[in-house]
Amino acid sequence: MSEIRFAVLLEPEALNDIQEAINYYDEAQPGLGKKFEEALNRLFKILEHSPFFAIRYDEVHCLPMRKFPYMLHYTMDEDAGEVIVRALFHTSIDPVRWKR
């Protein structure tokens, strides 16, 4: 029996969100951006194996980061075995903003 793995794909907007957060943390403290990126990569590994987290709105799943105040917003295509990361938002931002 083989293990099911999902491909984690990043939308261009999500890549921009991620880079902005890394830049912010690098400016705040040298090396902190790298720690943020490592934490994010751990979330991607989780999504590869188990992406079935709660749907928060409009078929969008959300997965919070543990040590940083951000949440991944993603959709899934189970038939294709894909997780599509749509955005990375600071937890103080209303997800309605992303929908616009």
Read off the tokens for 37.
Answer: 């990126």
Q: Is residue 3 very low, low, confident or very high in pLDDT (cuts 50, 70, 90)?
A: confident
64 and 71 Cβ atoms separated by less than 8 Å? yes
pTM higher than the cut 0.75: yes
By three-state DSSP, how is residue 51 classified? coil
Closest to 6 (Cα-Cα) out of 56, 43, 58: 43
Domain map (residue ranges) of the chain: 7-99
Strand order in the sheet with 55-57: 7-10, 82-90, 70-77, 60-64, 55-57
Q: Which fold would CATH assign to domain 7-99?
A: YaeB-like fold (3.30.2310)
* Alpha helices per DSSP H over 1-100: 12-28, 32-49, 95-99
Per residue in 34-93, pLDDT tens?
Answer: 999 999 999 999 999 999 998 988 899 999 999 999 999 999 999 999 999 999 999 887
Per residue in 22-48, pLDDT tens?
Answer: 999 999 999 999 999 999 999 999 999
Closest to 69 (Cα-Cα) out of 21, 13, 30: 21
